[in-house]
């Protein structure tokens, strides 16, 4: 189960601003979802290996041949605030 303080802490970790109403609603909803998910707590999973990837793969390498990458101006095309050769952002410590 999850309380209001935890919701605020997790939102901070996720860089997600939530309104008071969202925090309120999220607390209830997340508790309910996590309550369902916690059914797996009851399973005996000792000695079971975790699976993170289902297809057996060796290292996949390509020939070490240089090739063109996306031109800088294309990469900057979608930026909300491109400045010169980069992305402009406010100072990390502006406020």
**What is the nearest approach in angstroms of other proteins to the Cβ of residue 21?**
11
**What is the nearest approach in angstroms of other proteins to the Cβ of residue 24?**
13
- Residue 35 near residue 2, CB atoms below 8 Å: no
**What is the nearest approach in angstroms of other proteins to the Cβ of residue 9?**
8
- Residue 41 near residue 13, CB atoms below 8 Å: no
The site for other proteins (CB under 8 A) is made up of 2, 6-7, 10-11, 13-19, 22, 26, 29-30, 32-34, 36-41, 43, 45, 48-55, 57, 60, 62, 70, 74-75, 77-81, 87, 89-95
d(CA 76, CA 67): 20
d(CA 84, CA 33): 46
């Amino acid at each position: 189960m999850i309380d209001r303080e935890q919701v605020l802490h997790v939102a901070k970790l996720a860089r997600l601003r939530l309104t008071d109403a969202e925090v309120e609603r999220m607390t209830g909803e997340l508790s309910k979802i996590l309550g369902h998910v916690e059914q797996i707590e009851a399973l005996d999973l000792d000695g079971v290996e975790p699976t993170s990837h289902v297809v057996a793969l060796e290292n996949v390498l390509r020939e070490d041949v240089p090739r063109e990458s996306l031109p800088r101006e294309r990469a900057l095309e979608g930026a909300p605030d491109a400045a010169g050769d980069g992305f402009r952002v406010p100072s990390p410590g502006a406020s």
